[in-house]
A and B are shown apart, each in its own frame.
Chain A
Amino acid sequence: MTRYFTDKLAKYIVFISGFTSFIILLLIALFIFREGLPAFSEIGVFDFIFGGVWRPGIDQYGILAMIVGSIAVTIVSMIMAVPLGIACAILLAEVAPSKIRSILRPAVELLVGIPSVVYGLVGLVLLVPLISNIGGSGFSILTASIVLMVMVLPTIISISEDSIRAVPSSYREGALALGATKWQTIKGVVLPAAKSGIGAGIVLGMGRAIGETMAMIMVIGNSIAFPRFTFRCRAYTDRQHSTGNKLCYRHPRERALCYRCRALYFYITVKQRSYYLP
């Protein structure tokens, strides 16, 4: 009797715990969308998302510049991070002897633990002056992308490495026994077998790239203008409104707008996470 009781109890505890997190998520979503909705009805979705001018003083609320900035930074950083990350994962999983791996792997994992402010600071102090040699102020998409690349690398590397390791060794043996070289084996069999895991790593990395705020604000210039590759621009992320920028909360409508921005970001994040979930 008691055994069944414990069994049931365990089941309910697991259920309640699981649902709690789901309900919290639901409440957050409800709150954000409810607070953001008034602004939608006042300005309209189209003007809001595709409006190029953000000037609350004269009632211009277009966030296109910020969206474009965010997307540009994400794309450029992913272009740099994906090949590097996969190459590093291959090195760690297939090529490096265990001694080198035991040094590299913790180093990569350490990168995850560094607060984004530190990345921002390093970018600000080292990268911005360097890029300003090319032209412009140095606060730019390029700078932000390089910083972001370093930040998303560990995610891509560790998830890709795990999925490469998870490829059964029988695949490798099969390929080698056919007279394939090591690289042919990796390229022709191991990577295709690990591609779903590598894809998940890239998507997760992208999630971090789109959502990153602090480091971005520090190196991208924080001006509301359409981005240029090596010139001043601004990436839009939701937290800018609460932490990085004084725009918010001055005026009820601005506040509503902030929530709406957040709603947008929330939507993007949920969409993105649901992509790689089974």
Chain B
Amino acid sequence: MTIYNFNGQTCRGGKIKVNNLNFYYGSFQALRNINLDIPGCAITAIIGPSGCGKSSFLRLLNRMNDLIYGSRIEGTIELDGKNIFDKTVDVVDLRKNVGMVFQKPNPFPISIFDNIAFGPKQHGKKNKMELEEIVENSLKQAALWDEVKDKLGQSALALSGGQQQRLCIARVLSVEPEVILMDEPCSALDPMATLKIEDLMRTLAKNYTIIIVTHNMQQAARVSDTTAFFMMEPDRAGSLVEYGSTSEIFTNPKDKRTEDYITGRFG
């Protein structure tokens, strides 16, 4: 299947379609009636005030919320036309396809090489040459290779915060996902490291579908192609207020609440 991205180039990144999604933690409804079409090979930013369900939504996309006891899902999320909640979908395969970068860099307490090789190894790649190639490619894609190529055997925890986050991105790339989810990937980083990650995201968006949750509206405006604005309803359930191309959302929002939020009147 050939998918075209915004610029008309071919794209291997997955397209995501969310239909009438409701999500509950026990009796509390965290998300209400979300409908969203996320384009392939583009960066989609999800913005909104704290507690509006942005992270919950993101974690639904690779079913990380499966781990939470008592959570319940209604509706569907389709990745390239297939519902990810379908019983025939293997959650392990799904997570390999839909990688995730977390708010706080979370490299494993093992060597840089082993961090990157971890994913491919779990998926059956044992050949040392092959692993070395994957590690090198992933680190190059994550723009980290030049900084760490001489110390692949060292502990990943010795790297700086920004380097650790790029390592985590490289780790995700090592299993060749279609979609990369990022949950406030720069909130623990300084401006220079943030800039590097943002550049990296732009480069990666040529081949991957990236969905980023961010509190930083400038960041959303800088890097994303499309933006979704989430907000809480009176009963604290999160819902989608407005969704469109980033330039439109930021220059000409249709909804009053969106305008209030992006102009900094609340949130």
User: Could you tell me how many residues of chain B have their Cβ less than 8 Å away from some Cβ of chain A?
Assistant: 28
- Alpha-carbon separation in the docked complex, A170 to B101 (Å): 11
Q: What's the count of A-B pairs with C-beta under 8 Å? A: 70
- CB-CB < 8 A to B72: which residues of A? none
Q: A170 — which chain B residues lie within 8 A by C-beta?
A: 102, 104, 106
- Those of B177-221 within 8 Å (CB) of chain A: none
> Which among A173, A177, A184, A188 has the highest number of chain B CB atoms within 10 Å?
A177
Contacts of A173 in B (CB 8 A): 64, 67, 100, 102, 106
Q: How far is the CA of A170 from the CA of B96 in the complex (A)?
A: 17
B37 contacts chain A at the CB level, 8 A cutoff: no
* B95 and A177 within 8 A (CB): yes
Cβ of A203 within 8 Å of any chain B Cβ, yes or no, is no
B89 at the interface (CB under 8 A from A): no
Q: Are B96 and A174 neighbours in the complex by a CB distance under 8 Å?
A: no
| B11-29 residues at the A interface, CB under 8 angstroms | none
Digitize A174-213: 1 where CB-to-B-CB distance is under 8 Å, 0 elsewhere: 1111111100100011001100000000000000000000
**Which of B43-51, B116-124, B129-137 lies at the interface with chain A?**
B116-124
- Asked whether A168 is an interface residue with its Cβ less than 8 Å from the other chain, the reply is yes
With a cutoff of 8 Å between Cβ atoms, the chain A residues found around residue B99 in the complex are 177-178
Smallest Cβ-Cβ distance to A177: which chain B residue: B100
CB distance from A255 to the nearest CB of B (A): 52
Contact stretch, chosen from B139-147, B168-176, B259-267: B168-176
B158 at the interface (CB under 8 A from A): no
Contact A178–B171 (Cβ < 8 Å): yes
Q: B255 at the A/B interface (Cβ < 8 Å)? A: no
Complex interface residues of chain B between 105 and 128 (CB less than 8 A to chain A):
106-110, 118-119, 121-123
Q: State the CA gap A188–B116 with chains docked (Å).
A: 12
25 contacts between A and B (CB under 8 A): A170-B104, A170-B106, A171-B109, A173-B67, A173-B106, A174-B107, A174-B108, A175-B122, A176-B67, A177-B99, A177-B102, A177-B172, A178-B95, A178-B96, A178-B119, A178-B122, A178-B172, A179-B95, A179-B96, A179-B97, A188-B118, A188-B121, A189-B108, A192-B110, A193-B108
Tell me the minimal C-beta distance from A26 to chain B in angstroms.
37
Residues of A within 8 A of B122 (CB): 175, 178-181, 184, 188
Q: Is the CB–CB distance between A175 and B118 below 8 Å?
A: yes
Chain A residues at the B interface, C-beta cutoff of 8 Å = 168, 170-171, 173-181, 184, 188-189, 192-193
| Chain A positions within 8 Å of B96 at CB level | 178-179
Contacts of B108 in A (CB 8 A): 171, 174-175, 188-189, 192-193
**Given A176-B95, A179-B95: A168 and B110 interface contact (C-beta under 8 Å):** no
Measured between beta carbons, the chain B residues less than 8 angstroms from A193 are: 108-109
Partner-A contacts on B (CB < 8 A) = 62, 64, 67, 92-97, 99-100, 102, 104, 106-110, 118-119, 121-123, 168, 171-172, 174-175
Task: Provide the residues of chain B in CB contact with A178, threshold 8 Å.
Answer: 95-96, 99, 118-119, 122, 171-172, 174-175
- The minimal Cβ–Cβ distance linking A20 to chain B, given in whole angstroms, is 38
CB-based nearest B residue for A172: B67
Q: In the assembly, what is the distance between CA of A179 and CA of B98, in Å?
A: 9
Q: How far is the CA of A192 from the CA of B115 in the complex (A)?
A: 12
B153 to chain A, nearest CB (A): 15
Residues of B within 8 A of A180 (CB): 92, 118-119, 122
Distance in angstroms between the alpha carbons of A171 and B105 in the assembled complex? 10
In Å, the complex CA distance between A176 and B65 comes to 11
Chain A residues, CB < 8 A from B172: 177-178
Chain A residues near B107 (CB-CB < 8 A): 174
From residue A63, how far is it (CB to closest CB) to chain B in Å? 43
Quote the shortest CB–CB distance from B97 to chain A (angstroms).
8
What residue in chain A is nearest B119 (Cβ atoms)? A178
- A179–B123 CB distance below 8 A: yes
B264 to chain A, nearest CB (A): 31
In contact, B64 and A176 (Cβ under 8 angstroms): yes
In the complex the two chains form, what is the Cα distance from A173 to B59 in whole Å? 11
